[in-house]
Amino acid sequence: MTSEQILFLAGAILVVAFLYSSVGHAGASGYIAVMSLFGLAPAVIKPTALVLNILVACIGAWQFWRAGHFSWRLFWPFALLAIPMAFVGGYLNLPTHLFKIFVGIVLLFSAARFLYQATDDSVAHEPSRPVAISWGIGLGLLAGLTGTGGGIFLTPLLLLMHWSRIKTAAAVSALFILVNSISGLAGNLSSTKQFPAFVIALAIAALVGGTAGSYFGSKHFNHTVIKRLLAVVLLIAGTKLMLTQ
């Protein structure tokens, strides 16, 4: 990429990080959407998304843990086998057309999440350990394959099954994204032996945007409008990926 392209991409990443963090999200699907719209190859998108995931998930996991929302008892069964499976997913490099289909589905699913508002914060029961471990296997593999970290699926799963309250689900998902992104990146680097040189610029942009978004989002913004705007971006990027095979 040229310096000008990297500059524009970093600016887009900053805006996405700002918007996502203003509504309490890390931004994995948004980063993938932006890079897809910029026409980056899957071999570049996956490791870059994983690096940005690690950065923003560190911040989110720390904030939720400090606020007392994290549950180790709920987290570890999902993460136990998800971590090695994320390594496998990161190591594998899908053919371009399959990668686009997988990621397109993820982006469309993410858009649907922004249009859905969870209102029921009740907990019927926590999942049994075998059930949680089984789900973790699939989520970890998907996290590594797509570069999302897996939280985009874990959070709605916990809420829809009434296994967790909303803030606990967010806290568990933040650390789930972090450990899977580290594992997935390790697998990807083991396989490709390559690392995009411009990742540092994008990481700085994500950090600046995420920090500012967290501050302003908690004070001034209309979260409903922002979520709808993000849903539109994800719908466009997801549809583009699905149609350009």
Question: Could you list the mean pLDDT of each consecutive 10-residue stretch along the chain, which spans 245 residues?
Answer: 91 90 78 91 92 86 83 96 97 90 89 77 88 97 90 87 87 90 96 90 92 73 74 85 76
pTM of the model: 0.86
d(CA 47, CA 3): 20
d(CA 169, CA 118): 12
Type of residue numbered 108: L
Contact between 17 and 202 (Cβ < 8 Å): no
Contact between 13 and 48 (Cβ < 8 Å): no
Q: Which pLDDT does position 26 carry in this prediction? A: 75
Instruction: Spell out the alpha helix ranges (H) of 116-165.
Output: 129-146, 151-160
Type of residue numbered 22: S
Contact between 152 and 113 (Cβ < 8 Å): yes
d(CA 140, CA 88): 9
Q: Which pLDDT does position 159 carry in this prediction? A: 85
Counting every residue written for the chain, the total comes to: 245
CB neighbour list of residue 138: distance below 8 Å, 6 or more residues apart = 85
d(CA 7, CA 202): 9
Contact between 164 and 74 (Cβ < 8 Å): yes
- Exposed/middle/buried for residue 211 (C-beta within 10 Å: 0-12, 13-18, 19+): middle
d(CA 32, CA 17): 12
Q: Which pLDDT does position 219 carry in this prediction? A: 65
End-to-end CA distance of the chain: 22
Q: Which pLDDT does position 118 carry in this prediction? A: 67
